[in-house]
Amino acid sequence: MKIAVCVKEVPDTTAEKRIDPGTGRLVRDEGDRMLNEFDKYAVEEAVRLKEAGAADEVILISLGPEKAVESLRQALAMGADSLVLVSDPAAAGSDYLGTANALAKVLDDSGAELVLLGSEATDARSGVMAAALGEVSGRAWVTAANSLAVSGGSVTVDRQSDDGVDTVELPLPAVVSVTKAINEPRYPSLKGIMGAKKKPQEVKSLADAGIDASKVGEAGAGTKVLSVETPPARQAGQVVKDEGNGAQQILDFLIEKKIV
C-alpha cells in the first residue's frame, strides 16, 4: 500500500505576517519558511505505518513555490520516500478548492490508497482541506483522527466529537486528517537529514502534472478577498479598585456594554 501525505511550506510561526493589500494574499517571500507544524503528525503516522509493515511507500505531495523543496525536505528526513511538488506561477492565488483540485490530480497519478493530512495549516487555520480533497477526488474522508489503524481494505479512526469519541471505518482509498493527539513526531537524525537530499524530489508545472489551469489559481478560485484592513490598536483596559463597591462597578460596566 502507498500512503500519500499532503504537506505545505508556511511562514515561520514566530514571524509577523503581512497581507499584500493589492492581491489580498499572505506575503510568503519574506522571512523564514518551514514545514507546517501540523503536517509533521501526518508524516510521522505514515512512517510508523510503513515501519509496521502496513505500507510500502510514503509519498509527499505539495503545491507551492519551487524553493519550498528546502522546507519540505524535513519530511523526507523523517522517513518519507519521495516528494512531488507542483510549482507554477499560474497556481498563485489558489484557494482551498483550487489547491484540492491540484492535489487530487497528483494523488490520482500516485496510486496512493491512503492520504493523510495535518489538521490545519498555521498560515490559514481553516481545517477544511481534508474535506475538500476528499470531495474533489471522490475518496471517503474523515477529519480530526486521534488514532488510526489499517486493516485489509479499510481504515479505522477514533476522532473526538462533542459527545465523546467516535469510531469511524472508511473503505480505501480514503483521506484522513490527524490531530496532534495521534503521536509525537520524531526529530530527524543526522543520517536522515543527509539521506533526504538524495531521495527523489520532483518539481512539476501544471502542464507536467496534467492539471487544468482553469481549476487553480485565481482562475479557479471560488472565493475572493474584497478588502484588507489593519486591526485597530487595542485600547487600555479599565482598572477596577475594590473599595467596597467593586462588584457593583463590574456589574455597571457589563450593563453598559449590554453583556448582562
Domain ranges of the chain: 2-220
**Would you call 134 helix, strand, or coil by DSSP?**
helix
| Cell 469519541 found at | 165
CATH number for the region 2-220 comes to 3.40.50.620
> How far is CA 253 from each of CA 174, 234, 260, rounded to the nearest angstrom?
52, 18, 9
Percentage of residues in the chain with pLDDT exceeding 90?
69
pLDDT at 260: 81
The answer, yes or no, to whether residue 15 has pLDDT greater than 80, is no
124 pLDDT band, cuts 50/70/90, is confident
pLDDT at 16: 77
124-143 mean pLDDT: 93
99 alpha-carbon distance from chain centroid: 11
> Among the ranges 89-93, 143-147, 159-163, which has the highest mean pLDDT value?
143-147
The string of pLDDT tens digits covering residues 201-250 is 999 999 999 999 999 998 888 888 888 887 888 888 888 888 888 898 88
Output 207 or 26, whichever has higher pLDDT.
207
78 pLDDT band, cuts 50/70/90, is very high
The answer, yes or no, to whether residue 29 has pLDDT greater than 80, is no
The answer, yes or no, to whether residue 30 has pLDDT greater than 80, is no
16-26 mean pLDDT: 77
pLDDT at 189: 94
Kindly report the number of other CB atoms within 10 A of residue 186's CB atom.
15
Kindly report the number of other CB atoms within 10 A of residue 30's CB atom.
13
Angle subtended at Cα 83 by Cα 77 and Cα 89, rounded to the nearest 5 degrees: 125
Asked which of 81-90, 170-179, 210-219 is least confident by mean pLDDT, the reply is: 210-219
pLDDT at 177: 97
Q: Which residue(s) pair with 114 in the sheet? A: 3, 174
Q: Mapped to the 3 state alphabet, what secondary structure does the chain carry?
A: CEEEEECCEEECCCCCCCECCCCCCECCCCCCEEECCCHHHHHHHHHHHHHCCCCCEEEEEEECCCCHHHHHHHHHHHCCCEEEEECCHHHCCCCHHHHHHHHHHHHHHHCCCEEEEECCCCCCCCCCHHHHHHHHHCCEEEEEEEEEEEECCEEEEEEEECCEEEEEEEECCEEEEECCCCCCCCCCCHHHHHHHCCCCEEEECHHHHCCCHHHCHHHHCCCCCCCCCCCCCCCCCCCCCCCCCHHHHHHHHHHHCCCC
In this structure, what are the phi and psi dihedrals at residue 84, rounded to the nearest 5 degrees? -120, 115
- The DSSP letter of residue 197 is T
The answer, yes or no, to whether residue 131 has pLDDT greater than 80, is yes
Strand 140-151 with 154-161, pairing: antiparallel
Kindly report the number of other CB atoms within 10 A of residue 256's CB atom.
9
pLDDT at 220: 86
The answer, yes or no, to whether residue 21 has pLDDT greater than 80, is no
The answer, yes or no, to whether residue 87 has pLDDT greater than 90, is yes
Angle subtended at Cα 59 by Cα 175 and Cα 84, rounded to the nearest 5 degrees: 105
105 pLDDT band, cuts 50/70/90, is very high
The answer, yes or no, to whether residue 19 has pLDDT greater than 90, is no
pTM of the model: 0.86
Cis peptide, bond prior to residue 173, ω within 30 of zero: yes
pLDDT at 237: 81
Kindly report the number of other CB atoms within 10 A of residue 21's CB atom.
12
Compute the mean pLDDT over every residue in the chain, rounded to the nearest whole number: 92
